[in-house]
Structure 1
Amino acid sequence: MNVSMRQLRAFLAVAGHRHFRRAAEALHLTQPAVSRLIAELEAELDVRLFDRTTREVVPTEAGRYLEQALGRVLDELDTVLGHARTQADPLRGRVRIAAVPTLSAGLVPAGIARCTAGHPSLEIILRDQNQAQVLDAVRGGEVDFGLTVEPATHEEFDAETILRDPFRLVCPASHPFAMRGHVPWEALSGEPLVLLDHASGSRRLIDAILARRGVAARVAIEVGHPHTAFRMVEAGLGVTVTPALSLDALRPGLVALELTPEEHRNVTLLRRRARSLSPPAQTVWDTFRDVALTLA
């Protein structure tokens, strides 16, 4: 059925005003144009919608039904179209993101704060998840994009590296390492290590670095969050290798040292391959990139 919005709005105007000329004035159309739209609609529906006399225009029974039903439908359609229009506004709307814990505690607060200050009509929903969960959320379309450690493969994603985050050694201030300005990776051989578990994107990279440098790693404890690792180190249970972005949570009595030569992880913005971001999601993506450049 080939019915246009112009025909339906013309019908509602005539039904409401009970007059073709007044309906035409309300629609900013000529009276012949309105008469033509009504005639086209009646022909398409194959039903008479108005009884016309020299003094008034009265909806038929079919016209009265259509007037009542169509008013509700067009009101709802206007609401739907208005909501769709807001999705095209790069400074208004809801954006869902997922981030690994070290970024949720480091980069993400600064990014959300900048979005909130500059674009108060943006609403950002954050999921604080491990690496595998972030990848699953992006893959499944549950979030607009993710902030994560560069994944082992990019086959399913479009990715943009926004920051090189170096690894640091954290130990008690009383540890012999604390007297050095920096610590070579090889010095970790035999040291009890407190490391993030394999759900973390950083653990894969740390293991590869230790193996590549021939470090006889002795992993004493595995944890899920850098804050927990710091508490273990504070208790004298070992030393930890952690991304520099996690050092905001460093506790008194602990020191962070450079590991040489410097090794880093790539902090990456990630979205589904060949899927464009909504305008508000693109605004948030760009803001996080800018914040990362500031941190760098």
Structure 2
Amino acid sequence: MNVTLRQLQVFLSVAETRNFSRTGNLIGLTQPAVSRSITELEAQLGLQLVNRTTREVELTDAGHSLATRLPRVLDDLDSTLLDVAGMATGRRGRVRVASSPTLSANLMPECIALCHELHPGMELMLLDRVQNATLASVLSGEVDFGVVIDPEEREALTCETILSEPFLLACPKEHRLASLQQVRWKDLNGESLVLLDHASGSRRLIDEVLARLGVQCTVAQEVGHSTTIFRMLEAGLGVAVIPQMALPPQGFAGDSGLCVRPLTPRMDRQVMLVQRRNRALSPLAQTAWQLVREQAAKLAQASPITSRNSRPAAGPPRA
């Protein structure tokens, strides 16, 4: 079916004006050219779209159906073309980013807001997914890049560390460990832990640290979100090892009954930008990559714990 974009645009204008001459004046065609365009479209579809009279044009049932659905199709096409144009100009279009939950909640909102402010032509679309799903969306090409915790498998990825942050202990204020200014990992021996489940990028790292230091704990509960961890702790179900970014932005409220303590020796998780290896970022995606990196650096500088070990990152990878 050899239907042209021009024919569809002419038909949509005719559907709005119900007059060939007015349509011609609006889009810069003669009345015979408008009529010919509609006739050719009808021939391609094998359907009559309009009933022609001497004064106006009436839509047939098929014409009504096409006129109702066509605007959304043309809008989608415009959006797609803007995306592709953005790849060339680096100024306008859509960038898709996948991110793990704690990063989606504590890093990406500021990035999206900053994108609106600094790059009004860029639409930063966030997919909030668990770590494995985030990595899968990067490898499949569903997104331009991802923001994750240090992945175990990197062979198919290009990675850049943008932030190092420590694991901390969260516990009820009346717990025995709350009286310490710093808690050794070995002090966790025998404790009941409430931890993020294995869908989290942090869980593998926490398990590795506990095993390496010979800490024997009972995992009392495994949950998917840090907010659930805090409710579990408030109910007296144990203590938790959490990444610093999982803390509420203003810390624990005075009436929460919880506190946080540094764990020694300090063990960090690495927050990384990842993209599929040997796949070049578009100019627009490179701009978004740079924006996320810079926002992560600001987050590190604002934290008295993280800033001690933060390092400047390299430029965005290029294939």
For each residue in 1:137-195, what CA deviation from the matched residue of structure 2 results, as whole angstroms up to 9, or x when unmatched? 11111111110001112101000000001101101112121111110000111101000
Deviates more, 1:109-118 or 1:273-282: 109-118
Whole-angstrom distance in 1 between the partners of 2:295 and 2:137:
23
For each residue in 1:68-113, what CA deviation from the matched residue of structure 2 results, as whole angstroms up to 9, or x when unmatched? 89xxxxxx9xx78776333323232111111111111111112222
Given candidates 268, 271, 279, the residue that maps to 1:267 is: 271
Asked if structure 1 preserves the Cα contact closer than 8 Å seen for 2:85 and 2:92, the reply is no
- Is 1:279 aligned with 2:267? no
Whole-angstrom distance in 1 between the partners of 2:145 and 2:96:
7
Q: Which residue of 1 aligns with 2:111?
A: 111
Q: What amino acid is the match of 1:190?
A: G
Report matched runs for 1:27-176 at 5 Å. 84-176=84-176
Asked if structure 1 preserves the Cα contact closer than 8 Å seen for 2:82 and 2:92, the reply is no
Query: Secondary structure, in 3 states, of the residue corresponding to 2:248?
Result: helix
Query: Secondary structure, in 3 states, of the residue corresponding to 2:89?
Result: coil
- Is 1:255 aligned with 2:223? no
Q: Which residue of 2 aligns with 1:50?
A: none
Q: What amino acid is the match of 2:274?
A: L
CA separation of 1:246/1:142 partners in 2, compared to 1, >3 Å: closer, same or farther? same
Structure 1 residue 128: Cα displacement: 1.1
Whole-angstrom distance in 1 between the partners of 2:98 and 2:288:
12
Q: Which residue of 1 aligns with 2:297?
A: 293
Q: What amino acid is the match of 2:204?
A: R
- Is 1:196 aligned with 2:196? yes
Q: What amino acid is the match of 1:158?
A: T
Whole-angstrom distance in 2 between the partners of 1:243 and 1:179:
21
Q: Which residue of 1 aligns with 2:303?
A: none
Q: Which residue of 2 aligns with 1:26?
A: none
Query: Secondary structure, in 3 states, of the residue corresponding to 1:233?
Result: helix
CA separation of 1:209/1:126 partners in 2, compared to 1, >3 Å: closer, same or farther? same
CA separation of 1:275/1:224 partners in 2, compared to 1, >3 Å: closer, same or farther? same
Can you give the 5+ residue segments of structure 2 that lack an aligned partner in the other structure? Answer: 1-35, 42-73, 301-319
Q: What amino acid is the match of 1:102?
A: T
Query: Secondary structure, in 3 states, of the residue corresponding to 1:198?
Result: coil
Q: What amino acid is the match of 1:179?
A: S
Query: Secondary structure, in 3 states, of the residue corresponding to 1:269?
Result: strand
Q: Which residue of 1 aligns with 2:6?
A: none
Whole-angstrom distance in 2 between the partners of 1:269 and 1:241:
24
Whole-angstrom distance in 2 between the partners of 1:195 and 1:81:
45
User: TM-score scaled to structure 2, two decimals?
Assistant: 0.66
Structure 1 residue 248: Cα displacement: 2.0
Whole-angstrom distance in 2 between the partners of 1:114 and 1:233:
35
CA separation of 1:85/1:258 partners in 2, compared to 1, >3 Å: closer, same or farther? same
Q: What amino acid is the match of 1:294?
A: K
Whole-angstrom distance in 2 between the partners of 1:85 and 1:112:
21
Whole-angstrom distance in 2 between the partners of 1:81 and 1:226:
40
Mark the structure with the bigger radius of gyration: 1
Structure 1 residue 123: Cα displacement: 0.8
Query: Secondary structure, in 3 states, of the residue corresponding to 1:153?
Result: coil
Structure 1 residue 227: Cα displacement: 0.9
CA separation of 1:289/1:82 partners in 2, compared to 1, >3 Å: closer, same or farther? closer
Asked if structure 1 preserves the Cα contact closer than 8 Å seen for 2:98 and 2:137, the reply is yes
Can you give the 5+ residue segments of structure 1 that lack an aligned partner in the other structure? Answer: 1-63, 70-75
